Homo-oligomer: A and B are copies of this chain.
Amino acid sequence: MATRLSDVAARAGVSVKTVSNVINDYPHITARTRAKVEAAIAELEYTPNVSARSLRKGRSDFIALAVPEMASPYFAELGAAVSRAAKKRGITVLIDQTEGEAAGEKLVLDGMRGQLIDGIIFSPITTSPAKIGSADTAKPLLLLGERHAGGTFDHVAVDSVQASFDATTHLISIGRRRIAAIGVGGGAGTGSVRRKGYRKALKAAGLEVDPTLEVGGPGYHREDGAASMRELLALPEPPDAVFCFNDLLAIGALRALADAGLSAPKDVAVIGFDDIEDGRFHSPSLSTISPDKEWLAENAVALLLDRIAGSAGRRDSAGNGEADRVDLTVPYTLQIRESTGG
């Protein structure tokens, strides 16, 4: 027999209304009450009757998170955080892997299936800003990451220029002078935006920008970082530090150093970007820029759900109604670990 709201209320010793308020994540509920209700929900294995609720509301209570690669730890960790943030609000997140391919991203922009989901959080790689900007999606859509879309959609991202400036400045602060960058050819605007912050930091410190030290193609995987580091080590004058535009590249770079009988930070200091768990457990542990993924997930989900609740009047097919577009900047910290002498 299915557990009902009233069973949860009885077990928690509160009213049905209070249980409902906790499930719908209303404010002004004490931590003590919330804990009691959540314990009762867990004990009774209560699941809100989503089908009935959905019929009533004309919504599915499912949202999609469309990412290029779910096997990339950054997207996997982000997906887990988004899933948790949504669950607290009674929403289930389904993750779709576009593989950064045009067809997959087009499916996302087409609103996937109208009947399936209420809205989409989308991290594009292949699709151009112009295409995203002109898309008239059937469902509310929120963009993550570097790529701005001409102001049509809500957008949540780290200030990559400033964060890259900070990462590079840290390498300068530990006395490094020949600082390379790996990942400059990165897709979705990441490569050019992070290089901008890197160059800005060099110039601010009066260091020369040397294009032979700016390497890396579109790939942002471990093997790409290893290949780029081997390329840098083969230079007549190799670098004494390297800023990698994500942690996977940095882990590949560390591996290439080890293969060459060199070590970080002694021979080459290495810093990454993303703060994936992998880097924290690496030997040496990896210094990095740590975006607040929980903050990102909470705010992206809350913003999308606001849009879903009031989406009807938001924008028409001519693209009007853009004035209320929201652009949120994700907080981050610089994490100094062994790979830069921390």
Chain A positions near chain B (C-beta within 8 angstroms):
41-42, 45-47, 50-51, 54, 60, 62, 64, 69-73, 75-77, 79-80, 83-84, 87, 92-97, 99, 101-104, 106-107, 110, 112-116, 222, 226, 251-252, 254-255, 258, 277-278, 280-283
A104–B115 alpha-carbon span in the complex (Å): 22
Contacts of A79 in B (CB 8 A): 70-71, 95, 97
Contacts of A101 in B (CB 8 A): 42
Instruction: Give the residue among A69, A83, A222 with the most B Cβ atoms within 10 A.
Output: A83
In angstroms, Cα B72 to Cα A110, docked, is 30
A80 and B84 in contact, given A47-B103, A222-B277, A283-B254 (Cβ under 8 angstroms) = no
Copies in the complex: 2
Q: Output the nearest chain B residue to A112 by Cβ-Cβ distance.
A: B92
Measured between beta carbons, the chain B residues less than 8 angstroms from A251 are 278, 281
**Which B residue sits closest to A86, measured CB to CB?**
B97
Cα separation A77 to B221 with both chains bound (whole Å)? 13
Q: Which of A64, A73, A110 has the most CB of B within 10 A?
A: A73
Tell me, rounded to whole Å, the shortest Cβ–Cβ distance linking A83 to chain B.
4
Could you tell me if B94 and A64 are in contact, using CB atoms closer than 8 angstroms? yes
Chain B residues closer than 8 Å to A280, beta-carbon distance: 222
Indicate which residue in B92, B106, B282, B283 contacts A96 across the interface (CB closer than 8 Å).
B92
**Which of B62, B83, B278 touches A97 (beta carbons < 8 Å)?**
B83
**A-B contacts besides A73-B278, A94-B96, 15 pairs, CB < 8 Å:** A41-B103, A42-B101, A42-B102, A45-B106, A60-B113, A70-B80, A70-B83, A71-B77, A75-B76, A80-B97, A87-B99, A92-B96, A92-B112, A93-B96, A255-B283
